[in-house]
Amino acid sequence: YSLPFTLLADPEHEVAERYGVWKEKSMYGRKYMGVERTTVIIDAAGRVARVFSKVKPMGHAQEVEAALAEL
């Protein structure tokens, strides 16, 4: 796809744990560990510029676009 950035695979959830998004979740009364849906914007200097936690998909892309425009 010629993406202008590197994609990350995190099968051991090491990065998820460092970002604090590897959390206990529950569905239908069953508890399990998983990733809390989160968007992290990292600026050109490599710093975390913005974090969107517990993301809901509806309207989120527009929210992220607005945050990116502010960088």
- Confidence class of residue 56 from pLDDT cuts 50, 70 and 90? very high
Pick the closest to residue 38 from 60, 65, 13 (CA basis): 60
Render pLDDT for 12-35 as a digit per residue (tens, 0 to 9). Answer: 999 999 999 999 999 999 999 999
Instruction: Write a three-state SS string for 38-60.
Output: CEEEECCCCCEEEEECCCCCCCH
Q: In which element (H, E) is residue 69 found? A: helix 60-69
Q: What are phi and psi of 62, to 5 degrees?
A: -65, -40
Residue 54 confidence (pLDDT) above 90: yes
